Amino acid sequence: MPPVAVGQIVDVEVTGLTHEGAGVGRYQGYTLFIAQALVGERVRVRVEHVKKNYGFARLLQILEPSVQRVAPPCPVFDRCGGCSLQHLEYEAQLRHKRQIVADNLQRIGGFTVAAEGDGASGRAAAGDAVIVHPTIGMAEPWRYRNKAQVPIGEQDGGLVGGFYAERSHTIIDIDQCLIQHEASDAVVRVVKRTAARLGITPYDEEQHTGLLRHVVTKVGAKTGEIMVVLITTEEFIPQRELLIEAIRREVPGVTSIVQNINPERTNVIFGRKTIPLWGRDVIYDYIGSVKFAISARSFYQVNPVQTEILYEKTLQYAGLTGNETVIDAYCGIGTISLFLAQQAAHVYGVEIVPEAIADARRNAEQNGIGNVTFAVGAAEEVIPAWKEQGITPDVIVVDPPRKGCDEALLTAILQMRPKRVVYVSCNPATLARDLKLLATGYVVKEVQPVDMFPHTGHVEVTVRLERKDTVN
């Protein structure tokens, strides 16, 4: 039997931090997870959920604070589920994220990880130990997100919009978010106020009634162009022209307003049909010198400053001299492909989303980049087909979704035997799992975490792998 019961108040020493940012404490040998508690703190908590081997508790009082604790500047930090690490000083966040990567490589991948500080030059630290470099952070880790997806709902008879409370679908109504671009805040404020005035009904998730589900914004960091996406349950929007007029009048820089229709009872944000309401159907932005068209549903990294750093490091790890054939799996709208094409002989990109490939081809054309070929399909099917056609890559780059690479793709990579593999990941757990399989034919040389999402538990990683028979 657990030594605690629901409702019991206990004092706990916090000895660890989960990957999501919750404190880990022990009471009589029993593990309690405590949101907003930090390592080294002594805290008073109320037990809220109890399982056989662990439980969850709510922080009531900090009896002895950590020296790394800071006052979170966001007024809804304690209620919103978005930024779980605002109370931890930024340099400590970066160290924590490096440790997340190292822990996953050790626990899931079975790798030996060099101590922090070893191998800083990129050479092996000791034996077969994997080098995990310090996390590259931001000089200004606020207002970095160029995309917002804000759910709209109803509370106390009024229209609200903000972000979900942690582990719930209760909307915390907010007018500003300190990690979003200011333009996104402005758009959401205008849409909420105008929709309420015009009688545009908010979506009720439980009853599956109402019209306006989400407001999505995308901002070109270098161009200043703004896209507004209104996600609705049906096509008809009452007094639509007045809503469009208000957005255009009150938010300078809006160049695209589109509507996406999602009539399904689902947690998926976007539906299948997107129609333009005003302006272009895309906005433009740059990563380095490469210009990209960004449509409503296309994936584009949300932190442009850190994306450039991540892609430069990926390009470095690819080791291109201008003579290589490169395959970019999960190429999306061609962001990494076009970066690589500037220093490769030819790049082949594959992506399962047809709209993304259409964007990729448009992006290649508008940048005058002709040494790229894009194909629609599953990477694990298209890449072996390319092999049958005689395409022999020197480098393969993968940037999969959170679930990681399909095992068939990893097998295809091992069979194609490129000299180098560069793995870009947004999920250290699936990264470690996939690297374990690739390690049968490749040496994991170095790992570079990049802080794409300050104040959250997420971390992006790029990894350099060399084929075993090419390693000195």
Given pLDDT bands bounded at 50, 70 and 90, which one contains residue 19?
A: confident
Which pLDDT value is given to residue 118? 58
Which pLDDT value is given to residue 157? 83
CATH 2.40.50.1070 boundaries in the chain: 147-287
Residue 288: C-alpha distances to residues 52, 305, 309, 342 (Å):
52, 10, 10, 11
Tens of pLDDT, residue by residue over 92-110, are 999 999 999 999 999 999 9
CATH of 147-287 given 2.40.50.1070, 3.50.50.60, 3.40.50.150, 2.60.120.1030? 2.40.50.1070
pLDDT reading at 385 higher than 50: yes
CATH 3.40.50.150 boundaries in the chain: 94-139+303-470
Which pLDDT value is given to residue 299? 81
Question: Among 74, 177, 405, 426, which one carries the catalytic annotation?
Answer: 426
Cα dihedral 343, 344, 350, 356, rounded to 10, equals 30
The answer to whether 193 and 180 are in contact (CB under 8 A) is no
Given pLDDT bands bounded at 50, 70 and 90, which one contains residue 290?
A: very high
Which pLDDT value is given to residue 127? 59
The answer to whether 371 and 344 are in contact (CB under 8 A) is yes
Residue 204 gets the label, from left (phi > 0), alpha (psi -120 to 50) or beta, of beta
CATH fourth-level superfamily of 94-139+303-470: Vaccinia Virus protein VP39 (3.40.50.150)
Which pLDDT value is given to residue 122? 44
Which pLDDT value is given to residue 47? 97
* Lowest pLDDT segment from 129-143, 236-250, 353-367: 353-367
Q: In the CATH hierarchy, which fold is given to the domain comprising 9-64?
A: OB fold (Dihydrolipoamide Acetyltransferase, E2P) (2.40.50)
Residues 6+ apart with CB under 8 A from 245: none
Given pLDDT bands bounded at 50, 70 and 90, which one contains residue 79?
A: confident
Tens of pLDDT, residue by residue over 402-438, are 999 999 999 999 999 999 999 999 999 999 999 999 9
CATH 2.40.50.140 boundaries in the chain: 9-64
Torsion over CA: 114, 118, 124, 130 (sign): positive
Kindly state the percentage of the chain with pLDDT values over 70. 97
Which pLDDT value is given to residue 119? 53
* Lowest pLDDT segment from 122-131, 230-239, 400-409: 122-131
Output 115 or 460, whichever has higher pLDDT.
460
The whole-angstrom separation of Cα 442 and Cα 113 is: 16
The answer to whether 435 and 105 are in contact (CB under 8 A) is yes
Residue 220 gets the label, from left (phi > 0), alpha (psi -120 to 50) or beta, of beta
User: Is 426 considered catalytic here?
Assistant: yes
pLDDT reading at 350 higher than 90: yes
pLDDT reading at 121 higher than 50: no
The answer to whether 173 and 162 are in contact (CB under 8 A) is yes
The whole-angstrom separation of Cα 63 and Cα 43 is: 5
pLDDT reading at 25 higher than 90: yes
CB neighbour class for 121 (10 Å; exposed up to 12, middle 13-18, buried from 19):
exposed
The whole-angstrom separation of Cα 104 and Cα 107 is: 5
Average confidence (pLDDT) over 163-192: 92
